[in-house]
């Protein structure tokens, strides 16, 4: 009977910090994002960051990567479950990614990819966090495509190709300010899917 109703500031401070950092990472990267800016965007006092993340910038970065990775993992079933077949699923995945990127003013790239490129040679804990996120995506895709009829090796290789193409197309699309790379990559992978799954 503690009277837990939805409070006005329903999002806890710690959560706001993680969300704000995730948003900044995909716009400016890890090294380009300052802790003061995170605090400002999260509307949290500066000291609260070090209260919740005593490990500092690196600990915050690790958690942001894992959390963002988990959220993006939800997109896989969200797109593929309603799709009539894997070929359509692949094409839709790339199309939606392009629409979202364009709608954000070419700002919202994938935070994991940016951070992975920046810190893979600098911070081993963060590199491992990125690796675990990618591994999780690949494993989820492998299981799905295996269930849809591919043998596990094929399924894993195809998933790796999809994730790679998606991340790379994001890079080009963001720089070129065009969805063309995402459309082209999606088309190529959809054709590969048609070949693998034997559909048209």
For the chain, the maximum distance between any two Cα atoms, rounded to a whole number of angstroms, is 60
Give Cα 70 to chain centroid, integer Å. Answer: 8
Residue 78 beta carbon to its own copies: minimum distance, rounded to whole angstroms: 21
Residue 125 near which of DNA, its own copies, none (CB within 5-8 Å, type-dependent): none
* Tokens at 3, concatenated: 């009277």
Q: Which residue has the tokens 């269930």?
A: 147
CB 114 within 8 A of CB 126: no
* Tokens at 46, concatenated: 């500066």
144 touches its own copies (CB under 8 A) = no
CB 92 within 8 A of CB 135: no
169 touches its own copies (CB under 8 A) = yes
> Residues interacting with DNA, by CB under 7 A?
13, 33-37, 44-48, 50-52, 54, 56-58
> Residues interacting with its own copies, by CB under 8 A?
27-29, 31-32, 106-107, 109, 113-114, 116-118, 120-122, 127, 130-131, 134-135, 156-158, 160-161, 163-172, 174-177, 180-185, 187-189, 191-192, 195
């Amino acid at each position: 009977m503690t009277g837990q109703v939805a409070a006005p500031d329903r999002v806890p401070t710690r959560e706001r910090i993680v969300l704000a950092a995730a948003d900044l990472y995909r716009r400016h990267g890890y090294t380009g994002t300052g802790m003061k800016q995170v605090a400002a965007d999260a509307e949290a006092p500066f000291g609260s960051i070090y209260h919740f993340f005593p490990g500092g910038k690196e600990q915050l970065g690790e958690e942001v990567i894992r959390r963002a990775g988990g959220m993006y993992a939800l997109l896989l079933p969200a797109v593929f479950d309603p799709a009539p077949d894997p070929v359509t699923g692949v094409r839709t995945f790339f199309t939606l990614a392009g629409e979202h990127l364009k709608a954000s003013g070419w700002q919202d790239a994938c935070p994991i990819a940016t951070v992975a490129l920046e810190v893979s040679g600098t911070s081993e804990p963060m590199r491992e966090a990125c690796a675990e996120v990618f591994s999780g995506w690949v494993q989820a895709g492998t299981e799905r495509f295996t269930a849809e009829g591919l043998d596990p090796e094929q399924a894993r290789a195809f998933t790796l190709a999809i994730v790679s193409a998606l991340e790379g197309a994001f890079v080009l699309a963001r720089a070129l300010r065009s969805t063309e790379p995402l459309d082209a990559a999606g088309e190529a992978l959809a054709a590969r899917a048609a070949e693998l799954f034997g559909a048209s």
